Amino acid sequence: MLKLNEVEIVTIGDELLLGQTVDTNAVTLARELGAIGVSVVRRATVGDVADDIAGAVREALARTGTVITTGGLGPTADDLTRPVLAELFGRTLVRDESVVAHLEALWASRLRGPLPSSNLQQALVPDGAEIVRNPEGTAPGLRLVDAEGRSVTMLPGVPRELRAMLRESLVPWFAARAGDRVLRTRAVRTTGIAESALAEKLGASKRVVAGLPLAYLPGIDGVDLRVTARDMSLDDATRALDDAERTIREAVGAYAYATDRTTMPQVVLELCQARGDTIAVAESCTGGLLGARLTEVPGSSRVVLGGTIAYHNDVKVRDLDVSPDDLATHGAVSEPVALQMARGARARTGATIGIGITGIAGPDGGSDDKPVGTVWIAVDVHGDARAHRAVYIGDRAEIRHRASQAALDHVRRRLIGHGA
């Protein structure tokens, strides 16, 4: 019997198996479907090989009965999804005029040219297939349903196209079948504290909070504490998740900075906007990463004035008024330099908050007293500047990201009154 709130995903493409591409579509599908109570119960990835595609989809249909495939819908010879699944469902490929019209319109408007004959391939669809409109691209989605109601929905591999089709067509289609039982998760995001220390605060052996299973998800931003409510009514799930979040937040206190997919830059920007604060950055080892993370948030221009990428020491001196003597005496990675960078960022821009970061991101440049990963972070809030030293583990990218995360967390703690 068909489980209407479960789905398997089969992602198709040599580039996925070869590791040329990170499979972000699987993440998008899982999140969007999970939010409407549809659980992705298994995922398979196969190459552009007819037997492997057919095998993976056949197994998934037998196991779960509802399958979504991504990729292999393009106009080229290695795009096998349409013919292979047509055969699996015993359908022939027929030319669909609505798809032809869509392709011609798209070429005329966006791509400003006549339709290449190769792309007419994409108008060949399995007989009786439901067309899933693709507002963003050329390859339409296709859905085949057999007599028992088992279905495979074929989506293109281009993330932007898949996201648009998910919103426009798939979420409504699945929501209509899934009924009123939902799967909901909530993550309390923490940073600056180790998984084991969190476990102590929550009760070392505790794997259940407010009756919901608790998972520790360590990541580059910190450790997310995620509880999951399965197969409940929306009201029950919401109530249980609210209880669990309250319990977790009481246990971890100010280490919790956000919920679910809210990011640290979003949190800091909201705090600043509510208080009328503005931010300027002075970045050495992060080289612009902190500014990039802040300005990635739409509307950040209301808070972020700008800043200085002070990679070379001359820039620290000229643009941020860092003392050459302190650079000579204490080195670029030092408390006085970090403090002067934060103050300089404020002074230059007139921002109410200045952030200075200077450190050793590696792989080279470390020493015994300043190993790779050593970072000084200073935060100047309305003229009160404080500095913090840390040594981060990981590679260059991880050290830089952790430094930017910690810098924003210091700002957050200062603004909510939990600053060191």
Considering only residues 47 to 66 of the shown chain, the ones binding its own copies according to CB under 8 A are: 47, 52, 56, 59
Tell which one of 90, 135, 176, 207 touches its own copies (CB under 8 A): 207
Tell which one of 176, 217, 328, 416 touches its own copies (CB under 8 A): 217
Is there binding between residue 331 and its own copies (CB under 8 A)? no
Contacts of 75 (CB under 8 A, 6+ apart): 116, 118, 119, 120, 121, 122, 138, 139
With contacts defined by CB under 8 A, name the span among 44-52, 83-91, 145-153, 167-175 that binds its own copies. Answer: 44-52
Q: Which is nearer to its own copies, 210 or 292 (CB)?
A: 292
With contacts defined by CB under 8 A, name the span among 96-104, 120-128, 296-304, 380-388 that binds its own copies. Answer: 296-304
Is there binding between residue 173 and its own copies (CB under 8 A)? no
Q: Which is nearer to its own copies, 91 or 313 (CB)?
A: 313
Is there binding between residue 363 and its own copies (CB under 8 A)? yes
Residue 264 DSSP code: H
With contacts defined by CB under 8 A, name the span among 29-37, 127-135, 143-151, 243-251 that binds its own copies. Answer: 29-37
Whole-number Å distance between alpha carbons of 398 and 355: 19
With contacts defined by CB under 8 A, name the span among 25-33, 95-103, 145-153, 171-179 that binds its own copies. Answer: 25-33
With contacts defined by CB under 8 A, name the span among 95-103, 237-245, 247-255, 358-366 that binds its own copies. Answer: 358-366
φ, ψ (nearest 5 deg) of residue 398: -70, -40
Q: Could you tell me if 1 and 147 are in contact, meaning their C-beta atoms sit under 8 angstroms apart?
A: no
Q: Which is nearer to its own copies, 129 or 406 (CB)?
A: 406
Strands (E), 247-397: 256-259, 279-283, 304-309, 353-359, 374-381, 384-391
* Residue 118: CB minimum distance to its own copies, A: 6
Q: Which is nearer to its own copies, 129 or 300 (CB)?
A: 300
Q: Cα separations (Å) of 143 from 95, 151, 159, 385?
A: 15, 7, 19, 60
Complete edge-to-edge strand list for the sheet that includes strand 222-233: 208-209, 212-219, 222-233, 181-190, 256-259
Which residues, numbered 83-122, are part of the site for its own copies (CB under 8 A)? 111, 116, 118
Q: Comparing C-alpha atoms, which of 335, 357, 351 is closest to residue 404?
A: 357
Is there binding between residue 39 and its own copies (CB under 8 A)? yes
Contacts of 184 (CB under 8 A, 6+ apart): 34, 35, 37, 228, 229, 232, 234, 237, 238, 241
- Report residue 411 as tokens: 């700002």
Is there binding between residue 417 and its own copies (CB under 8 A)? no
Is there binding between residue 348 and its own copies (CB under 8 A)? yes
Is there binding between residue 196 and its own copies (CB under 8 A)? yes
Is there binding between residue 79 and its own copies (CB under 8 A)? no
Is there binding between residue 347 and its own copies (CB under 8 A)? no
Whole-number Å distance between alpha carbons of 69 and 63: 15
- Report residue 289 as tokens: 């990463």
Cα 353 to the center of its chain, rounded Å = 27
Tell which one of 2, 50, 76, 149 touches its own copies (CB under 8 A): 76
Is there binding between residue 219 and its own copies (CB under 8 A)? yes
Whole-number Å distance between alpha carbons of 263 and 80: 39
Q: Which is nearer to its own copies, 28 or 238 (CB)?
A: 28
